[in-house]
Amino acid sequence: MLLLEKGIWFGLAAVGFAILFNVPTRTLIPIFIMGALGGLTKLQMLSLDLNVIISTLVGAALIGFLSILFAHKKHAPPPIFAIPAVIPMVPGIFAYRMMLGLINLAGDVNQATYNQILSETINNGLKVMLILMSLAGGVGIPMLITRKESAKNIRFRKKS
């Protein structure tokens, strides 16, 4: 699959959720761009054989920085851009496999396969949890390093 095509799908998923969350119309195009760029960053890092958790963290941090940039331009709070934009990176397939694993674990104990299912389920579950944490943490990075209460007080250039 082409990189550009994947970017479009990431952006489309972000815009779908943005419309579900009823964002103001002026924020839809920035959300598409942010979703696409964040997702592509994650994929690019994954293709360099980096850990999925670190890749997600970097993608989410990029979305966090862009959200502050667009918040200034479009006059809306940063989370409005950031939350729909990171949702395409939510680990849906891992969560699905974890749920299936949990159900299997609650079933009969078959010594031959139980240990394998157990380790796969724990692996998937931990990935889900850590990816979700890095999504929320990555989006929060700009606010944490600038130590401001509101994005309105963050300046990109020094005052002349």
Partner 1 sequence: MSVKADNNEINALGTTLLEIGALLMVSGASTGRIRNNINRISNSFGYSTDMLISQRTLMLNIYNEENGHFFNSLKRTQAHGVNFAIVSGISRMSWLVVEQKWSVEQINTDLIRIAALPHYPRMLILTFVGLAGAAFCRLAGGEALDMAMVFLGSFCGLFIRQEAHKLQFNPYICILFAALTSSLIAGLPIKFQIGDTKEVAFATSVLFLIPGVPLINSFSDMIDGNLQNGLIRGLNGFIISFAIALGLLTSMLIYHF
Binding footprint of partner 1 on the chain (CB under 8 A): 1, 6, 9-10, 12-24, 27, 39, 75-77, 79-80, 83-84, 86-88, 90, 92-93, 95-96, 99, 103, 132-133, 135-137, 139-140, 144, 149-150, 152
3-class DSSP state of 35 = helix
* Residues 87 and 17 sit within 8 Å (Cβ to Cβ): yes
**Alpha-carbon span 44 to 33, nearest angstrom:** 16
Least separation in angstroms between CB 105 and partner 1: 13
Residue with tokens 């943005």: 18
Q: Which is nearer to partner 1, 111 or 149 (CB)?
A: 149
Q: Which is nearer to partner 1, 5 or 111 (CB)?
A: 5
Q: Which is nearer to partner 1, 9 or 65 (CB)?
A: 9
**Alpha-carbon span 30 to 158, nearest angstrom:** 25
